[in-house]
């Protein structure tokens, strides 16, 4: 939905973001995706639109209650509980087709690094049917696991083939991150690939870090190129909005990228 008389939630969260990412552009409108049940609360996408009609930030908003009543998972397993989050029906085109909020109660690989319970916030540049067809099994395995070209990898990032996940892609991580230096995992930014193409971007946030009610903005290293036209971040913000009792995971500092002659088809 677009901000209306019933959009007090969006307004409060938008003001929270405007204090950081959107101030320079000036906020013209806030667009919200439909609320999806997560835990005992909800999650939804949000796009803050600048005065020039361009996206100032793209975010997922998670209600405080969403952190309660989450599935526990199986001991020793790597269960992932995925909530599909449509992008707002209106607003500027961002290049993102849809988002997902993935709850990982026992973490995932690499063991000892991303083991703490956490959320993966995926923003996909491909549609859901294309995403669901991603597999690293059988005859498709070699092509699916094709390494991305160097200009699609941000400086310092690596994309190990053993990070491949069905219906998702290969994950590129930053080994210079503090979690690889013996520090507890709090938040990081991931890039995802399939058949050598960049197909998603992913802020990843530990549940325990959200519960501290933070307000931090972290830099996002950018590659030289992308595989799909869109607005890509130079930062991401993890913040708690006390007025709405919501957590915001927002991609900020958005810069446009498009291939010659290619439209930005996705929202």
| Per-residue model confidence as pLDDT tens digits over 129-184 | 999 999 999 998 999 999 999 999 999 999 988 899 999 999 999 999 999 999 99
- With b for 16 or more beta-carbon neighbours within 10 A and e for fewer, the 197-220 pattern comes to bbbbbbbbbbeebbeeeeeeeeeb
Q: For position 265, what pLDDT does the model report?
A: 65
The answer to pTM > 0.85 is yes
Is 14's pLDDT higher than 70? no
- Cα–Cα dist 146/83, whole Å: 28
With CA atoms as reference, report the closest residue to 160 among 168, 174, 171: 171
User: Is residue 158 packed enough to be buried (19+ CB in 10 Å), middle (13-18) or exposed (0-12)?
Assistant: exposed
SS3 at position 255: strand
| Per-residue model confidence as pLDDT tens digits over 176-206 | 999 999 999 999 999 999 999 999 999 999 9
**Residue 194 bridge partners (DSSP):** 197
């Amino acid at each position: 939905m677009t901000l209306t008389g019933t959009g007090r939630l969006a307004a409060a969260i938008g003001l929270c973001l405007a204090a950081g990412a959107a101030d320079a552009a000036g906020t013209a409108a806030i667009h919200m995706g439909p609320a999806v049940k997560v835990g005992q609360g909800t999650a939804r996408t949000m796009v803050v639109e600048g005065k020039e009609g361009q996206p100032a930030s793209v975010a997922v908003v998670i209600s405080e209650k969403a952190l309660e009543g989450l599935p526990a998972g199986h001991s020793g397993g790597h269960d992932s509980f995925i909530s599909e989050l449509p992008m707002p029906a209106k607003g500027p085109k961002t290049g993102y087709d849809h988002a997902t909020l993935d709850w990982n109660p026992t973490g995932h690989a690499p063991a000892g690094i991303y083991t703490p319970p956490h959320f993966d916030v995926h923003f996909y540049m491909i549609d859901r049917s294309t995403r669901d067809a991603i597999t690293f099994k059988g005859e498709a395995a070699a092509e699916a696991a094709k390494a991305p070209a160097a200009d699609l990898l941000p400086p310092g990032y690596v994309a190990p083939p053993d990070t491949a996940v069905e219906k998702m892609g290969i994950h590129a991580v930053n080994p210079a991150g503090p979690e690889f230096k013996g520090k507890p995992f709090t938040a990081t930014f991931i890039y995802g690939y399939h058949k050598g193409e960049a197909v998603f971007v992913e802020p990843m946030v530990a549940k325990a870090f959200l519960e501290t009610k933070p307000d931090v903005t972290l830099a996002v290293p950018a590659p030289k190129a992308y595989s799909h036209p869109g607005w890509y971040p130079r930062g991401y913000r993890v913040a708690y909005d006390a007025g709405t009792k919501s957590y915001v995971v927002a991609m900020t500092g958005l810069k446009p990228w498009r291939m010659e002659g290619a439209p930005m088809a996705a929202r």
